[in-house]
């Protein structure tokens, strides 16, 4: 059977790359011909460009040139990270031809028996992709259309987007979301028969991810890994407290002044290695949390400043780990009962795989 998936697969984010790989790899393991639709509209194509002016107030004659010149050294230093991600894509992802716009995709969509939209924050209305018809499979004319673990990442959907989004969703043959809170959003949009399933990274087992994990050089000491998108003062306070109490060095993915070592140029495989070997993982990232669970590493999660925390709250609650969502001054949980966690996780993995089987049966019976 031919299957196409669509997601934000090429945005230089470890979680985005790994979830795209996981769904494709699981579907291939079932014996299907699977491709990721290489959809890269303008709003997803600006990464690592040397000529981009991020702040409009600097996009003026002469000021623009001075801005780009000032930014150039830092942008050149970070370019090796782009190569690591591009190499991951070339090595692990099977893509269709490139589509640069929704109109181009609608005019000549790739042929498939089943189309999956997901996973990750493809329906986040705070981002442009959450408003894009392509991520609701509006371009599909024939074949079964379903979402897999799509995430809104918010509790409330904007009023001005409700009508058109409800129209897109009503055309899907199967609807599944990653968070329980997503069911409430769907209900508010008039979509009743939806299910919650796990992020695709849980469709592959621990051994699979261990085989892919690469520990970067100079990561040999016992360490606490920080994965912080916000440069949060709360994360810093907690990291320094935990590291001091447990005799750990502080390592970080992003450049942080209080970390002994930063691995800013690492890609998805090195990210896996850093999480796998960490003594403790402190983050405000869904996928750092997910892989902490997969590798059975002690962890805690601090909420993001953006309003996209439902995914971490719902996930930890589902596993009985709500106490792992922490703020400054809270007691940090240790000695997680991984037997209980894995029991809950297995039930949800089985349920998620059953949902995929159900969607594929639709195509067989069509």
Dist CA 348 CA 314 (whole Å): 13
Q: Look at residue 312 in the predicted model and tell me its pLDDT.
A: 81
Q: Which residues of 20-35 are buried (b: 16+ CB within 10 A; e: fewer)?
A: bbbbbbbbeeeebebb
Kindly report the length of the chain: 366
Dist CA 164 CA 160 (whole Å): 9
Dist CA 6 CA 138 (whole Å): 12
pLDDT category at 128 given cuts 50, 70, 90 is very high
- Do residues 278 and 260 touch, judged by C-beta distance below 8 A? no
Q: Beta partners for 38?
A: 98
Dist CA 280 CA 222 (whole Å): 9
Dist CA 230 CA 54 (whole Å): 18
Burial class of residue 267 (count of CB atoms within 10 Å of its CB; 0-12, 13-18, 19+): buried
- Do residues 151 and 178 touch, judged by C-beta distance below 8 A? yes
Dist CA 21 CA 221 (whole Å): 30
- Do residues 212 and 269 touch, judged by C-beta distance below 8 A? yes
Q: How far apart are the first and last CA of the chain?
A: 12
Place of tokens 């673990």: 149
Dist CA 135 CA 64 (whole Å): 34
Distance, CA of 200 to chain centre: 10
Dist CA 148 CA 216 (whole Å): 32
Dist CA 205 CA 202 (whole Å): 7
13 DSSP 8-state letter: -
Dist CA 288 CA 294 (whole Å): 10
Q: Beta partners for 118?
A: none
Which of 61-65, 143-147, 162-166, 353-357 shows the lowest mean pLDDT across its residues? Answer: 61-65
Place of tokens 């695709």: 200
Tokens at residue 253, please? 């993915």
Q: Look at residue 67 in the predicted model and tell me its pLDDT.
A: 67
Rg (CA), the chain: 21
Q: Look at residue 47 in the predicted model and tell me its pLDDT.
A: 75
pLDDT tens-digit readout, 11-69: 999 999 999 999 999 999 999 999 999 999 998 887 767 666 667 777 777 777 776 67
pLDDT category at 275 given cuts 50, 70, 90 is very high
Cis peptide before 119 (omega within 30 of 0): yes
Tokens at residue 241, please? 């407290």
pLDDT tens-digit readout, 215-264: 998 888 899 999 998 888 989 999 999 999 999 999 999 889 999 999 99
pLDDT category at 297 given cuts 50, 70, 90 is very high
Q: Beta partners for 33?
A: 2
């Amino acid at each position: 059977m031919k299957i196409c998936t669509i997601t934000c697969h090429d945005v230089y984010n470890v979680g985005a790359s790994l979830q795209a790989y996981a769904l494709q790899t699981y579907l291939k393991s079932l014996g299907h011909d699977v491709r990721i639709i290489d959809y890269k509209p303008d709003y997803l194509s600006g990464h690592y460009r040397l000529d981009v002016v991020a702040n409009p107030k600097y996009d003026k004659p002469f000021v623009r040139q001075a801005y780009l010149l000032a930014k150039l050294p830092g942008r050149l230093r970070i370019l090796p990270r782009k190569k690591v991600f591009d190499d991951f894509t070339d090595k692990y992802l099977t893509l269709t031809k490139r589509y640069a716009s929704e109109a181009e995709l609608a005019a000549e969509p790739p042929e498939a028996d089943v189309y999956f939209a997901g996973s990750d924050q493809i329906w986040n209305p705070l981002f442009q992709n959450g408003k894009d018809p392509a991520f609701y499979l509006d371009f599909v004319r024939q074949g079964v259309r379903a979402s897999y673990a799509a995430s809104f990442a918010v509790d409330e959907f904007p009023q001005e987007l409700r009508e058109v989004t409800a129209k897109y969703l009503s055309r899907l043959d199967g609807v599944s979301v990653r968070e329980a809170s997503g069911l409430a959003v769907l209900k508010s949009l008039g979509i009743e028969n939806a299910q919650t399933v796990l992020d695709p990274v849980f469709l592959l087992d621990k051994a699979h991810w261990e085989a892919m994990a690469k520990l970067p050089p100079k990561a040999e000491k016992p360490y606490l890994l920080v994965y912080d998108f916000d440069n949060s003062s709360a994360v810093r306070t907690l990291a320094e407290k935990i590291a001091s109490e447990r005799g750990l060095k502080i390592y970080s993915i992003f450049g942080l002044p209080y970390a002994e070592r930063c691995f800013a140029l690492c890609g998805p495989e090195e990210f896996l290695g850093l999480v796998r070997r960490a003594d403790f993982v402190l983050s405000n990232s869904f996928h750092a949390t997910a892989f902490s669970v997969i590798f059975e590493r002690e962890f805690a999660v601090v909420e993001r400043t953006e309003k996209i925390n439902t995914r971490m709250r719902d996930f930890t609650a589902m596993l009985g780990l709500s106490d792992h969502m922490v703020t400054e001054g809270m007691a940090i949980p240790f000695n997680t009962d991984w037997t209980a966690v894995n029991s809950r996780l297995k039930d949800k993995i089985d349920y998620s795989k059953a949902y995929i089987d159900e969607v594929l049966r639709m195509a067989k019976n069509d």
